[in-house]
Amino acid sequence: MFIYKSATTQEDLGNGVKRRVMAHGGRMMAVEVTFEKDAVGPLHHHPHEQLTYVLSGRFAFTIDGLTREVGAGDTLYKAPNVVHGCVCLEAGTLLDTFTPQREDFLGAR
């Protein structure tokens, strides 16, 4: 399956954060998330496993109460139901992979 970025739409989540569902197929999903400097990904949790690959920028990520600064090329793992969130220190983009896919991100598609 080929997914072209030009065929996807970007959703403005407000407060300097935008999300683009890139590809999904039931058991897995890839999502691009862009952050303006100082934008916040609030602390939250969900039942999905999640990998985050930092494409660009710098972020302070908190995972299960531990905060670390990360940048381009770094990867983070979030186990199901673990509380996590971030603050964007330098405008950037993340690539999130979820399993299973986030039905809540698909809405009425």
- 33-68: pLDDT as tens digits: 999 999 999 999 999 999 999 999 999 999 999 999
Q: Which of 24, 18, 37, 33 is nearest to 94 (CA)?
A: 33
So what's the pLDDT on residue 43?
Answer: 98
Give percent of the chain with pLDDT exceeding 90: 92
**What count of other Cβ atoms lies within 10 Å of the Cβ of residue 94?**
23
CA of 92: how far to CAs of 37, 54, 68, 80, in Å? 8, 8, 16, 25
So what's the pLDDT on residue 19?
Answer: 97
So what's the pLDDT on residue 90?
Answer: 98
pTM for this one?
A: 0.93
Query: Does residue 82 carry a pLDDT above 80?
Result: yes
Q: What confidence tier does 26 reach under pLDDT thresholds 50, 70, 90?
A: confident
Tell me the average pLDDT across 73-84. Answer: 98
pLDDT higher for 16 or 1? 16
Q: Positive or negative, the Cα torsion across 101, 102, 108, 109?
A: negative
